[in-house]
A and B are shown apart, each in its own frame.
Chain A
């Protein structure tokens, strides 16, 4: 599904190498987690994969299935099936949430040569999905993320994920700014989307999200590389001992 080979990335504006050779393969149907201390390059990895400006790939490759992600525009990556749940979802005053969702769904369908969703069909699906995430009609009507609480923003991300039905979902610190109940709600939303054909890459500082979204594989990232890979028990080790022990062990 997602294959990253020896990926090197620096900041475009300054001579600072952030990723120093990341190797990672996420298979369809699996949930991989990336944990790591601040500044290890976790979020940069998610931005580079989604096509954000400001980064320069200096080496390596990243594929989603047969698509060379690094050759594609952000919207093409999305149409190819990549979805990034933002750590800080962007507020867009003046653009209604429904308009946004419908435009996105139909743009992706169009890009894939599929038929666009009718207004009635879209409304039916979005209402059902929103209900599962406890997103009320008012939140759907309001401008995208404007005035949403932290939890509402993250639920709105998961709603977008549910509507767009991507092949590969990257969650960038989705647990940040969430209380326990909100995290449970978001995790339930993600778990409902787990399926054989879909891969997940969950980026997080803390083990607690992984109590709710059970990973198949856990990677530890430090200084721009994946330094250790293991099963769910690796996350528990981090929770109990912090990163220092692991980093000392691989150094």
Chain B
């Protein structure tokens, strides 16, 4: 279906302002993505999945300016033993990165066009393309067409330590378009950590192909630079008895849209996606999840918690699609917000679409204030109001944070949260 003229103008203007990397193995996939982008057009407010989030700043030609966060703090996962890969404003930093070598893992760069990376050639853009139906994700197609760099990870066994993608935002008007492709062979295991603000405007796609019995874990902390705008996509496909678990902590950011598109294609696969976010003031955070059950006895779980204050806005759009024949599906979805004042908003759209008759699917969504009884109890024991509020806020987020299996990673994120709460008291 052709997009309306106004939409086409925005799309063409944006395309004209970008330049497509050429001359490598990804050329065909990029050309295909560009054609798809032209056909669907960039999102606007009239699109079903952009009603709660204004996409303008993500689609306009001009890169919005964002102040660079001044902090001397170490990055969240600095104490975790990991292979670190560093990007500055979306540009790979060889010097700051570790040697890209690890047992059972081959790591290449998308920007390295000379390499003949067969596995990536057949995967790049494919999961993104598959994730365009039934809901179009134009920013994902734009990314496949124009990504300037990214990491290609092929895992053949159990990776001995996590890979930590570290993003730094260095310039006020920087734009980064990164595309990572991760392929796990049967039985392989990998944990990917992502940290830091990437650029003033950031568009990122991560395609993850999880083969039978493989396990992928993903934990990310989206940085606390106040003014950034980001749109990220995860596209993943899960084989038989495989596992995918992703957790995101978001602190601050003017606009953050995280799409997660999961296809359970093999029987008995497990997909968990969770997120905790804290926003104060000029903050808009959108989690949009689409999980397709297309196999027997798969389990999916969505747990999202948002703490909002001073006019911050949280959005959750979560869908579970159970295809005919996907019997014994076990789908769970919960989204909750803690509104610390009357000015903040939580907008939730849970959706279930089920074509199999022997499934368990549940969903719930709530918005609430701080529990006054609990607050008084804490205060009556001598805990000052602001510390008591922090304790109750952390308790509220705990259900999401506890989705992270690794205790070390969980503690690192809780420490981040505690720091944020302390800085945002009152």
Contacts and interface: CB of A to CB of B under 8 A. Distances in A.
Contact of A90 (B377, B382, B394, B395): B377
A74 interface: yes
B373 A90 contact: yes
Interface in A76-108: 77-79, 84, 86, 89-95, 99-100, 103-104, 107-108
A132 interface: no
Nearest to B401: A94
B380 A50 contact: yes
Contacts of B388: 75
A92 B392 contact: yes
Given A52-B376, A74-B376, A94-B398, A104 B381 contact: yes
A53 interface: yes
B391 A89 contact: no
Interface string B362-405: 00000000011110111111111101100110111011000000
A224 B334 CA distance: 47
A78 B391 contact: no
A164 interface: yes
A89 B377 contact: yes
Interface residues of A, number: 30
A79 B378 contact: no
B374 A90 contact: yes
A111 interface: yes
A94 B399 contact: yes
A50 B376 CA distance: 9
A53 B372 contact: yes
A73 interface: yes
B392 A73 contact: no
Interface range on chain B: under 10, 10 to 19, 20 to 34, or 35 or more? 20 to 34
A51 interface: yes
Given A53-B376, A90-B373, A75 B395 contact: no
Interface in A59-84: 73-75, 77-79, 84
A92 B378 CA distance: 9
Q: What does DSSP make chain B's interface, helix, strand, loop or mixed?
A: helix
A92 B382 contact: no
Contacts of A74: 376, 379-380
Given A90-B373, A90-B374, A78 B395 contact: no
A174 interface: no
A160 interface: yes
A135 B54 CA distance: 54
Contacts of A73: 379, 385
A107 B372 contact: no
B392 A107 contact: no
A100 B380 contact: no
Contacts of B385: 73, 75
A160 B396 CA distance: 23
B260 to A, nearest CB: 25
Nearest to B384: A75
B240 to A, nearest CB: 36
A203 B384 CA distance: 27
A75 B396 contact: no
Contact of B382 (A94, A99, A108): A108
B392 A78 contact: no
Nearest to B393: A94
Contact of B391 (A75, A90, A95): A95
Contact of B380 (A84, A91, A94, A103): A84
A164 B391 contact: no
Contact of A78 (B380, B396, B399): B380
B374 to A, nearest CB: 5
A167 B379 CA distance: 17
A51 B377 CA distance: 11
Given A92-B395, A103-B391, A51 B378 contact: no
Nearest to B402: A94
A73 B394 CA distance: 23
Contacts of B382: 75, 78-79, 104, 107-108, 111, 164
Contacts of B374: 90-92
Contacts of A99: 391
Contacts of A108: 381-382
Nearest to A103: B383
B377 A92 contact: yes
Nearest to A82: B380
A74 B373 CA distance: 13
A16 B341 CA distance: 30
B364 to A, nearest CB: 15
B417 to A, nearest CB: 12
A77 B394 CA distance: 25
A156 to B, nearest CB: 11
B377 A94 contact: no
Nearest to A81: B382
Contacts of B398: 94
A144 B383 CA distance: 14
Nearest to A163: B381
Q: Which 3 A-B pairs give the minimum distances between C-beta atoms?
A: A94-B395, A78-B382, A108-B382
Given A74-B380, A92-B377, 14 more contacts: A52-B376, A75-B380, A86-B377, A89-B377, A92-B378, A92-B392, A94-B394, A95-B392, A95-B395, A100-B378, A103-B383, A104-B382, A104-B383, A164-B381
18 contacts: A50-B380, A51-B379, A53-B376, A75-B379, A75-B382, A77-B380, A78-B379, A78-B382, A89-B377, A90-B377, A91-B374, A94-B394, A100-B391, A103-B387, A103-B391, A111-B382, A143-B395, A164-B381
